[in-house]
Structure 1
Amino acid sequence: MRIELSEEAAEKILNQKPDGAKLILNLNDGAGKFSDLAGSCSLDLAFDLVFADSNEDLHEYTAEIDSDIGTFYAKPYSLDYLDQDNHLRVSGMGMLVLSGTYSGTISGNVPVKDKTSIAKN
C-alpha cells in the first residue's frame, strides 16, 4: 500500500513536522490513543494526520503505508477503507484531501495534529 503526495501536500506536512516525529494516518473513529472523536454512526470517514514522538508506543498502529516522505503508521483495520494506491493533495481551500485511485475521495479534510511532547509543552 502506498500514499503518493502532491508536492504542495508534502511541503505542507514537512513544514509542520517536528524533527524525528513519526507520521500516523489515524482513522478518527473513537478507537486508539490519537482518536479524539466519540464513536459515530456517520457514513463519512474522518482521517487525521498525526505527528507522534519517535519513542511513542504505537501498538495500535502496526500497519505501515509507504510514501514519498516516509512511513505512515495506521490501525490495521483502517486499511480496509483505503485503496492500494492513495493520494494526498491540497484542495483549493488549503485542506489536505485523501483519495484512492479507484474509490475517489476518502476523506475531504485531513487535519494535521501535533501530538509530540514538544507540542505538549
Structure 2
Amino acid sequence: MYLKVADELKDRLSSFKKEGIVVLDLDDGAGKYSKMGVCSLDTSFRLLVLSQDQDRSDYTLDIDSDVGEIPIKEYSKIYLDDQMSLEYDDRLALIKLKSPSGVIDGNVPIVDLRK
C-alpha cells in the first residue's frame, strides 16, 4: 500500500512526524483513541498525531507514504486500496482520502492528541 500526500500537506505532516507519530485511524469506536464510531454507512478516517511515548498498540500495520511510514489498524486495510492519496481541497479547507476507486473519506481531520 502507498499513500501519496499532496504537496500542501507534506510539510505539515512531516513536522508532526519530527515531534511524534502520525497514524491513519479508522474511527470505528474501537481502540484507545476512538471515543465513538460513526453510526452510518460512511467510512471515517482521521490523522492522529501522537507523542513517541503514547500507546500505538492498535496500529500494527504500516503503510508507505511520501512522508514515511504511517501506522494503521490492520483490519482497516479492507477499506483502503493499494494506491491512495491525501488531497487538500483549498476551497473547502479539508483533506480527502482518495483511491483510484473514488473517495474513501471526504473529510479527514488532523487531531493532535499529544500530551
TM-score, normalization by structure 1: 0.86
Give identity over the alignment, percent.
34
Q: Deviation at 1:75?
A: 0.5
- How many residue pairs match? The answer is 114
* 8 Å contact kept, 2:38–2:44: no
Matches within 5 A, 1:1-121: 1-14=1-14, 17=16, 19-38=18-37, 40=39, 42-91=40-89, 92-101=91-100, 103-117=101-115
Between structures 1 and 2, the one with greater strand share:
2
Task: Say if 1:6 and 1:38 are closer, same or farther in 2 by CA, change over 3 A.
Answer: closer
Q: Deviation at 1:54?
A: 1.2
Letter in 2 for 1:45: T
TM-score, normalization by structure 2: 0.90
**Greater mean deviation of Cα atoms: 4-13 or 86-95:** 4-13
Letter in 2 for 1:28: D
Residue deviations 1:81-105 (CA, integer Å, cap 9, x gap): 000010001012110100112x210
Aligned-residue RMSD, C-alpha: 1.6
**Greater mean deviation of Cα atoms: 4-13 or 103-112:** 4-13
SS of the residue corresponding to residue 88 of structure 1 reads: strand
